Structure 1
């Protein structure tokens, strides 16, 4: 890699490390797995920087994060600890505090299957169009629409009433 390309790559990593980690967390619900996936992506991205730089590097990296998280999930399903369905403590009823709502929404998001979660994060957090999301996930626009619809339906079922009502205006 030439020095100018290395400088571009370094700038990209510096500018996108935190957003990609946050994106990875929203996709998988685990900061450690997100961190590992982003590290893996940055190593692979260094090798493929010319290809990534010809496209939209952020979208390319987001797709790589989704793929890395799916690969880890597929490869290591038998190596993970067995998680319990119920937490030992429960959440207090929601008040008007935004941080409480955020915790409940993230908890509900973490309960969704990986593909639905990734679709919702790409569509509503990363603000990608259906077509951009389909390209990033390597699927059709129809798949994105159905995953979005099913994901929103699942979130409505998982969220308590005050938050459930806030999703009513969102359509896939």
Structure 2
């Protein structure tokens, strides 16, 4: 790859990695697998970078690549192997006032069925419309709407349980 194109790729990738990782983590529920999904996506993007100037919405294209990478990761046999019962503790910034809310949200998302979790992440974290989520997941719009409705109801129930346990 020419040095100027490689520089353009590096600039693009560095600016997008935090958001890509956040989406992958919310879909997969595991930091290491999210890292792998982002890395796979960026590797494929690097290989295709010289053709990307024709893509109308590059961010949407890369986002679609990432979601598909996450979905294919979940289908692999080794993705179902758990070495530990719980994930190891991840250090968080103690001075961030939203830490507890984020931890509760992540724990609640992990308790949702995969389909509901994926739909909620794509709809609300990624701010995608129903039609785009349906296209990405190869599901009908009705299924996406139903999973959104069910997922939000389950999240409300989980938040209520958390609030009762805290009281």
Q: Distance in 1 between the 2:54 and 2:99 partners?
A: 37
Quick check: 1:37–1:68 contact (8 Å CA) kept in 2?
A: yes
Aligned residues: 154
* TM-superposed deviation, 1:149: 1.3
Task: Tell me what 1:90 maps to.
Answer: none
Quick check: 2:116–2:150 contact (8 Å CA) kept in 1?
A: yes
Task: Tell me what 2:65 maps to.
Answer: 64
Where structure 2 has 5 or more consecutive residues not aligned to the other structure, the ranges are 88-96
* TM-superposed deviation, 1:162: 7.6
Task: Tell me what 1:24 maps to.
Answer: 24
Q: Distance in 2 between the 1:83 and 1:160 partners?
A: 28
Task: Tell me what 1:9 maps to.
Answer: 9
Task: Tell me what 1:94 maps to.
Answer: none
Where structure 1 has 5 or more consecutive residues not aligned to the other structure, the ranges are 88-96, 165-172
With the length of structure 2 as denominator, give the TM-score of the two structures: 0.76
Higher helix share: 2
Quick check: 2:73–2:79 contact (8 Å CA) kept in 1?
A: no
Q: Distance in 1 between the 2:117 and 2:8 partners?
A: 31
Q: Distance in 2 between the 1:53 and 1:135 partners?
A: 21
Taking the TM superposition and a 5 Å limit, the aligned residue runs for 1:9-158 are 9-49=9-49, 50=51, 54-77=55-78, 80-81=81-82, 84=85, 98-158=98-158
* TM-superposed deviation, 1:53: 5.4
Residue 127 of structure 1 aligns to a residue whose secondary structure is coil
Q: Distance in 1 between the 2:103 and 2:156 partners?
A: 15
